[in-house]
Amino acid sequence: LALMFWNRRLWRVESRGRFVPRVGNVNVPQARTYTGNTPDVINLTEYVQQCRKLLNMATRTGRDKGRFVPEVLATSFLETYDSLSWEGKKQFLQLLATELEADSGEVLNAAKEVIARGESSHIPASTLNQNLREALRPLHDKLFSYIINSHPEGMKHVLGIRGDILQSLREEKNLTHLQAMNRNLQLLLQQWFSIGFLSLERVTWESPASLLEKIIGYSARIHKMEDWHDIKRRIGEGRRCYAFFHSCMKSEPLVFIEVALTKSITKNVHELTQIQTSAPIKESEANTAIFYAIISTQEGLSGVDLGHLLIMEVVKKIQQTVPNITTFSTLSPIPGFRKWLETQLALESNTATTMFPEVPLLTKEEVQFLETYAASASLDTNPITTLKDILNKDWSNDQELEPFLKKLLTRLTARYLVNSRKRGLALDPVANFHLQNGAQVYSINWKGNISPQGMRQSYGLMVNYLYNLPDLKDNSSNYIMKHQISVSDAVRQYIP
């Protein structure tokens, strides 16, 4: 206590008798607690400005190299942030994005020193360049680094904050400063979540119960596990479940994958997820690994590609432990197909145009069928309107409609996956992911997933992406550089 009173560089005594940490002439921002729905924006601004002063001063003096400033500032910041309502957090994030940008004055001074280097050659160019890079680094980037490096649960908090940033950007599109902060934070997280910081672990029935509970909870995002019996089956004989963990979040699976060992490429997910009465296949008899669920658990890692690393590492692990497996394939959803088709039908109805004017959406045979069906059912004779009416009702057990829709929707799914592009790449996000990995569009599967979610996404269709290991590098290069998609003959027949 005597030392604290004596060392006035570190502490200031307020009139009310409490100690306030300080660095040099700058007080460390104190945590603010907000219980109302709308915090005082003036107080938040004042708090962020104090953070800015401390970050600037600590960087200039080198005090950020120790642990005192990062630890105190990280703790104060997280206590303040966690006390805010959702509206308060949105205001706070926007203040951080605008107030903690790179200091333009320091950037200008550092740039002048680099330009004038010829007149002051006693300073190494590498030093001047490093000074410029440091000046260009936003202060909020340094703040997030403080939190990650000095707080026991800093990484978890930063991932939560980025999830809030993404939600804010979904609610309001034109927040340019917040978009810039999001990009910087994404780059920071990409460095932290490289393969060197990740560990691959197999999830088994012997894994901690807390981990199994998390796997059950996260599974609801794709193929829900109903109970403990279900997860025991899906991580047991003939199955594999692997997850990536980070050294800063050792008990939290970041992304996990479910794999089924089979004798052929599975085309229906219900064969893998529903309880089977027959005994599971012997692993020694299997020759195929089906990746049927890849689940990312952290929204804050959106845009940080862990899925590719996970698949490649799991392929290596399976080759080592089950050498008789020679075929690797996914059984994947087509999340954007239904929305795409509904948009195409609306365009056809309203403007008589499609994204592919040289290739009609419907063939002559399909138009003829729809006109005949409409006449017999006393519906609108416009084939587009008739098709929209059919798709909006339950046709799954209609013996007349199902064969027609199977052929029609399979053909349109192939067109969507291969021909619908955004900046040259596949429009469907799952297709784009696997194609960038070097996979091939192998098979389109009718009634691959007839769950409510599967019907909402793609009328129940699913797709196999084949990971033919010798071709992955060339396929990936051709797709990314030339926008060429590897397609099997079975799928190619449906593409005009």
Catalytically active residues are 332, 434
Report the SS3 class of residue 487: strand
| Angle of the 41-61 helix axis to the 139-150 helix axis, nearest 10 | 80
Query: Residues 91, 39: contact at Cβ < 8 Å?
Result: yes
152 Cβ partners below 8 Å, 6+ apart? none
Element (H, E) at 421: strand 421-422
**Structure token pair of residue 134:** 């440091």
Element (H, E) at 241: strand 239-246
**Structure token pair of residue 107:** 């950037």
Rounded Cα gap, residues 462 and 241, in angstroms: 21
Beta bridge partners of 289: 261, 328
**Structure token pair of residue 407:** 């052929």
CB atoms within 10 A of CB 462: 26
DSSP state of 173: S
**Structure token pair of residue 328:** 């690797």
Amino acid identity for residue 389 in this structure: D
**Structure token pair of residue 198:** 């990740």
The half-sphere exposure of 322 on its side-chain side, counting CA atoms within 13 A, is 23
Beta bridge partners of 426: 421
